[in-house]
Structure 1
Amino acid sequence: MVKGTGLHGDGGTRQSVTRACVRRVRTIGRFLLLAFTPWLAIAFFLVEAHAETKGGAREKSVAITFDDLPHANAGEDGTDHPSTESIEAANARILAALKAHKAPAIGFVVESKVRAVGPRAKNILKDWTGPRLTLGNHTFSHADTNTLDIAGIKREIVDGEKTTRQVLKAAGKDLRFLRFPYNHTGDTEEKQKAIAALAAKHGYTIAASTIDTSDYVFDRAYERALAENDTEAAHRIRTAYLMHTQQQIAYYAGLNEQALGYEPPAIMLLHVNRLNADAMKAILSLFEESGYGFITLEKALADAAYRRPLSHATKYGPMWGYRWAKDRNMQVDGSLEREPPEWIVTYGE
């Protein structure tokens, strides 16, 4: 999609002119009502104010978040580890796209990946502390909380913040947000409460997420195409990924509205990888063309939907729309959510 078409181009001007005309008609109507039927005018004003508040109180917004900094494939067993130069380049392209679209973002750091990258990793993280940017804790080793006791989870949190807290402190910022690997926040009600209490004790807000694109599935296929110098396949994969992303944005907006009765600020879950580095500008344009504005994670989490503690415990890591629906005993047909195309999955295996 090309920014500058549709409502971003001449259509936006036409809409402004139309709105101006409507305002003039409303002004004339108000004057006539006030002059001849004062009580009817008051009723008109009340109804109109309610309609305008209802229609304009909530603008669509999204917070952009990235997991697995400095790079999702750094230090992964059984993979060709990306070079430090390619990791630096991927982060630079993502940050450049965010800057171009004036989009705030947060990057969640895995301490073991910082160590796998080496001394230059700290400089990469420093670039994530500029204007509209910050960092969060994604634990030490990306371990699954379902397999750990509370003491083990505490070690993952505390050991996971060492470099991140240091980098943020040097930038005059605080380490405030924590996201657990796989979004596993407790597989039993007792463990979920204990994890929430542990995070709060260490000064963290647990980061939610509402839009998932399974970008890692597409990235596996993308990395294979690039390794084989198959530019045609890489283009097809990137195009399929953007189509899937557009579908997921729409799907989760509908899911969240179904669960809550309104669409809260969305929180996009992405990973730092080569696919997102190459597709980031297009992803941000998708949001813009769908009417979304970009906000910080802090602002998104201030919405009432996120302030209410989750009551449904699960061993899985569903997006928050499914959790909200479960907490409210709502039936959701999860089969309506699109999975990555089978050819993408097969190609990446």
Structure 2
Amino acid sequence: MGVALLLWAGALQAAPAQRIALTIDDLPWQRLDERHDPELARRHAQLLAALKAAQLPVVGFVNEGKLEQQGRVLPERVQMLRDWLDAGFELGNHTYGHVDLHAVGLPAYEQDILRGEQTLRPLLARRGQPPRWFRHPYLRTGQDLQQRAALADFLQQHGYRIAPVTVDNSEWIWAFAYDHVRDTEADPGVRQARLRQLRRGYVPYMLNKLDYYQQQSQQLLGRLPAQVWLVHANALNADCIGELVAATRRRGYTFISLEQALQDPAYTHADGYLGAGGIGWVHRWAMAEGKPPAFYAGEPKVPRWVLALAGIDNE
């Protein structure tokens, strides 16, 4: 083997592994409690088919309030959760009503977590599984150390592990724009053109976010940790998730399970954020180290035209 080839092979072996876990929030479907989607069954099947075809592990996070209509649990919506399990994916708890810890307070939040497993826990038990993953709605984890610690103790007592997010993004704004165009644009030609424009912009936006947080991680930790990506169950991802996964793999990433990702020692890093909002874990770790404002610069933003289509003023 020539010297150049040996150097190339050595460089490949030395290249850091790029690993990422995909997680999907707001099951059985984003905004299911807000809007009627006549294509729901088809879109749901489309999303699951794309994820199965991609052959990657997924954890989906459930809001049980979306299983109900006028106080009654709808069997067809529970079946949507069974479909996720039948596809080989895991389910976690995202609270019953997608409530904000900082708005409702800890006691009400804990009750909403328990209410959010009334269907989930027996559904998983029939398959020999306990619910083991929890994700905070809005990524809001507590505004003081006491509240955060008390919630962590509560979750541990009920068998839950927190699912962090390192590749934070505003995919939900793109999804709102996608739904808004589908719902309101009467001209078929204009509607299809705008939906196509959103699809073409969405995947590059998400890859730019991934690049940004990989760079932030490298700068902060001196290496590339396993990442955790957050998206939602919606029509946009039903149409685009296959291309997003394929494009991510073309960049050299391997999709791993959430459990595998959290074995990375990065997830033992201190969390330095106690603000009112919700942010990803890479920036929480950076705040624990006292990084200056300049460290956080350069994060990709949602374009103004997407905000306008979503009917949202600011990200």
TM-score, normalised via structure 1 length: 0.81
Gaps of 5+ in 2: none
- Cα distance per residue 1:165-212 (max 9 Å; x no partner): 122122222210000100111011221111111111111101001113
In the alignment, the residues of structure 1 paired with residue 63 and residue 277 of structure 2 have an alpha-carbon distance, to the nearest angstrom, of 20
In the alignment, the residues of structure 1 paired with residue 192 and residue 273 of structure 2 have an alpha-carbon distance, to the nearest angstrom, of 45
- Say if 2:39 is the partner of 1:89: no
In the alignment, the residues of structure 2 paired with residue 73 and residue 139 of structure 1 have an alpha-carbon distance, to the nearest angstrom, of 15
- Say if 2:300 is the partner of 1:345: no
Aligned 8 A contact 2:271 2:287 in 1: no
Name the counterpart of 1:250.
211
Count of aligned residue pairs for this structure pair: 302
In the alignment, the residues of structure 2 paired with residue 295 and residue 348 of structure 1 have an alpha-carbon distance, to the nearest angstrom, of 32
Name the counterpart of 1:110.
63
Q: Secondary structure at the match of 2:68?
A: helix
* Deviation (angstroms), 1:213: 2.9
1:329 is aligned, of 279, 290, 305, to 290
Q: Which has the higher helix share?
A: 1
In the alignment, the residues of structure 1 paired with residue 45 and residue 3 of structure 2 have an alpha-carbon distance, to the nearest angstrom, of 41
* Deviation (angstroms), 1:312: 3.2
* Deviation (angstroms), 1:105: 0.3
5 Å-filtered alignment, 1:303-314, equals: 303-314=264-275
- Say if 2:133 is the partner of 1:177: yes
Name the counterpart of 1:39.
none
In the alignment, the residues of structure 2 paired with residue 274 and residue 131 of structure 1 have an alpha-carbon distance, to the nearest angstrom, of 18
* Deviation (angstroms), 1:131: 5.7
Q: Secondary structure at the match of 1:336?
A: coil
In the alignment, the residues of structure 1 paired with residue 129 and residue 215 of structure 2 have an alpha-carbon distance, to the nearest angstrom, of 35
Q: CA RMSD of the aligned region, Å?
A: 2.4
In the alignment, the residues of structure 2 paired with residue 297 and residue 18 of structure 1 have an alpha-carbon distance, to the nearest angstrom, of 41
Aligned 8 A contact 1:179 1:206 in 2: yes
Name the counterpart of 2:27.
69
Aligned 8 A contact 2:47 2:241 in 1: yes
Q: 1:96 to 1:332 in 2, by over 3 A?
A: farther
Name the counterpart of 1:316.
277
1:299 is aligned, of 240, 243, 260, to 260
Name the counterpart of 2:180.
224
Q: Percent identity?
A: 31
Q: 1:131 to 1:309 in 2, by over 3 A?
A: farther
Name the counterpart of 1:119.
75
In the alignment, the residues of structure 2 paired with residue 189 and residue 128 of structure 1 have an alpha-carbon distance, to the nearest angstrom, of 35
Q: 1:201 to 1:118 in 2, by over 3 A?
A: same
Which structure: larger Rg?
1
5 Å-filtered alignment, 1:1-349, equals: 21-22=5-6, 55=14, 58-76=16-34, 80-83=35-38, 86-116=39-69, 118-130=74-86, 132-227=88-183, 228=185, 229=188, 230-333=191-294, 334-349=296-311
In the alignment, the residues of structure 2 paired with residue 149 and residue 318 of structure 1 have an alpha-carbon distance, to the nearest angstrom, of 19
In the alignment, the residues of structure 1 paired with residue 251 and residue 101 of structure 2 have an alpha-carbon distance, to the nearest angstrom, of 35
In the alignment, the residues of structure 2 paired with residue 183 and residue 73 of structure 1 have an alpha-carbon distance, to the nearest angstrom, of 18
In the alignment, the residues of structure 1 paired with residue 88 and residue 267 of structure 2 have an alpha-carbon distance, to the nearest angstrom, of 21
* Deviation (angstroms), 1:162: 1.3
Gaps of 5+ in 1: 1-16, 27-47
Q: 1:110 to 1:74 in 2, by over 3 A?
A: same
* Deviation (angstroms), 1:314: 2.3
Runs of 4+ in structure 1 over 6 Å off: 17-20
Q: 1:281 to 1:233 in 2, by over 3 A?
A: same
Name the counterpart of 1:41.
none
In the alignment, the residues of structure 2 paired with residue 147 and residue 180 of structure 1 have an alpha-carbon distance, to the nearest angstrom, of 13
Aligned 8 A contact 1:64 1:294 in 2: yes
The one-letter amino acid of 1:342's match is R
* Deviation (angstroms), 1:82: 1.8
Aligned 8 A contact 2:48 2:87 in 1: no
The one-letter amino acid of 2:142's match is G
- Cα distance per residue 1:203-242 (max 9 Å; x no partner): 1101001113311111121122223231001100111111
